Structure 1
Amino acid sequence: MRKTMEVMVAIDDSDESFMALKWALDNLYSIGGVVAEWNQEGGMLMMVHVQEPFHQYFLPAGPGPAMESVRKAQEESTAAILARALQMCEDKMVKAETLIVEGDPKDKICELAEQMHIDLLVVGSRGLGKIKRAFLGSVSDYCAHHVVCPIVIVKPPKEHRK
């Protein structure tokens, strides 16, 4: 019996994460436009979205309507991101699940990949230069050094790099 491949794609609101999803769908889940055999036999694509923790201390008014409004906006944004990602999967006839977790994206992605026994992690790269990457940090760079499974980092085309 053939083992199915467990693939995880990290999704956020960036174009680069959707480029990574498109790459996975085009290169791992279809061959010449035909759904890959291993996908038909139960291979599932897991899309994970990591929300930054909600910090109450950013709002001087404390708990109340303002905080609830921010929380609701975050939920709506997450729902829109995942709906777009799920539609891309549906268009390619790929079975997919979504998972929303809260925390530091680079840590959570690596933790989930290990806990879920992921065979391949696919992430996008913003194409930051060395200086910006040093100051801003890079989720893809961190994952490349810490994740327990193979990783594919999908870089944006040269004209889109920052």
Structure 2
Amino acid sequence: MINKILLTVSGLGHAEEMLKTLREIPSIESAKVTILHVVQAQNTAATMTAKWENGGKILANAIQTLNLDPSQVSSILREGDPKDVVCQVADEIDADLIVMGSRGLKRLQSILSNSVSQYVFQLSSRPMLLVKDDIYVKRIKRIMVAIDNSDSAKNCLKLALFLLRDIQGGQLILANISTDLGGKKSEITEVNSDKNPVLAAAVAEAQKQGIQSRAYISSGKPGEEICRLAEELNIDLLLLGSPDRRPSIAKSFVDIDRLIGSSLSDYVRVNATCPVLLARTIA
């Protein structure tokens, strides 16, 4: 399911560390990795030359840090607008997963600062793993899926099971949130999934594949609750579905409603205390 990974590097952040952790997962240890660094256009030839040289060093350092088999890694150094180039290269190599660092900027800040990760998520249909600069990347054992009846959540469940199937001692954490927009929070409760159809189906699928699972419920504002559960349950990787609400005519444009509104994926991207894998189902 994950055979080609696009890793974007800038010389800062935890993206390389995240990929090294991912490569410890047996189901994707043989995936091909393309490392991308984008050089933005500069005003002078001398400055541009310096940027190209620095970009080459960043790629070389990333390759050395990752210590991958040469047959499994390639690098690309390209000029352009990073948010456009990342999407282009992801399409060119037909990436199954994009791994990027993120500063965790809030909605309006993302627009004003031209946040690359936020724009790439809006414009790409591919799963995207975001790693904020201020989090600690842990070895992946406990994977949480925010589960409901949506197709995007079901796709996240499939991806989580794929990742967990060969992780010794791995555990799937299923979280089902009852929405209370008033913000009234309930206790985080571990439940017997038999009384919750959504959880029951997910637990049954995990059992079928021999994967240990635990199910939890809570209520409150969904974004806040998902982040609260991820932190309190000491989650190593959070998977969240994000359906694309835009009409087909607008697929090439950033969803401004999401950027400045209160979208679930945007809240979790900014506030989660663990790496977040966002997966989209295109309508």
Matched ranges for 1:32-71 at <5 A: 36=166, 38=167, 40=168, 42-53=169-180
Aligned residues: 126
Please say if residues 142 and 173 of structure 2, whose CA atoms lie closer than 8 Å, have aligned partners that are also in contact: yes
Aligned to 1:127, the other structure's residue is in SS state: coil
Q: Residue 164 of structure 2 contacts residue 170 of structure 2 at CA under 8 Å; is this kept in 1?
A: no
Query: CA 1:143 to 1:92, structure 2 compared with 1: closer, same or farther past 3 Å?
Result: same
Q: How big is each residue's C-alpha offset from its partner over 1:80-116, in whole Å with a ceiling of 9 and x where there is no partner?
A: 1111111221121111010010111100111111112
Whether the aligned pair in 1 keeps the contact of 2:140 and 2:237 (CA below 8 Å) is no
Bigger Cα displacement from structure 2, 135-144 vs 84-93: 135-144
Looking at structure 1, the residues matched to 222 and 153 of structure 2 have their Cα atoms a distance apart, in angstroms, of 13
Q: Which residue of 1 aligns with 2:235?
A: 118
Where do residues 151-162 of structure 1 align in structure 2 (5 Å cutoff)?
A: 151-156=276-281, 160-161=282-283
Structure 2 residue 214 is the aligned partner of structure 1 residue 97: yes
Q: How does 1:112-151 map to 2 (within 5 A)?
A: 112-129=229-246, 130-133=255-258, 137-151=262-276
What's 1:13 paired with? 149
SS of residue in 2 equivalent to 1:142: helix
Cα distance in structure 1, aligned partners of 2:140 and 2:274: 15
Query: 1:88: which partner in 2?
Result: 205
Contact 1:23–1:154 under 8 Å retained in 2: no
**Take 2:170 and 2:269, find their aligned partners in 1: how far apart are those partners?**
23
Decide whether aligned partners of structure 1 residues 54 and 22 sit closer, same or farther in structure 2, where only a CA change above 3 A counts.
Answer: same
8 Å CA contact retained: 2:144, 2:172:
yes
CA RMSD for the aligned pairs?
A: 2.5
Asked if 1:29 is matched to 2:154, the reply is no
Contact 2:140 2:236 in 1 (8 A): no
Pair 102,29 (structure 1): closer, same or farther in 2 beyond 3 Å: same
Q: What secondary structure is seen at the aligned counterpart in 2 of 1:99?
A: strand
Rounded to whole Å, the distance in 2 between the matches of 1:128 and 1:148 is 26
In structure 2, relative to structure 1, the CA distance for the partners of 1:148 and 1:54 (3 Å cut) is closer
Write the distance in 2 (CA, Å) between the matches of 1:142 and 1:80: 27
Q: Distance in 1 between matches of 2:140 and 2:256?
A: 40
Residues in 2 aligned to 1:90 and 1:47: alpha-carbon distance in whole angstroms: 13
Question: For residues 97 and 19 of structure 1, what CA distance do their matches in structure 2 show?
Answer: 18
**Unmatched tracts of structure 2, length 5 or more:** 1-138, 183-194, 247-254
Question: Aligned-pair distance for 1:137?
Answer: 3.4
CA contact (8 A) 1:7 1:122 kept: yes
C-alpha separation between the residues in 1 aligned to 2:275 and 2:261? 24
Spell out structure 1 runs of 4+ moving beyond 6 A. none
Q: Is the 8 A contact 1:8 1:113 kept in 2?
A: yes
Question: Retained in 2: the 8 A contact 1:45–1:94?
Answer: yes
Structure 1, gaps ≥5 residues long: 31-35, 56-77
| TM-score normalised to structure 1 length | 0.69
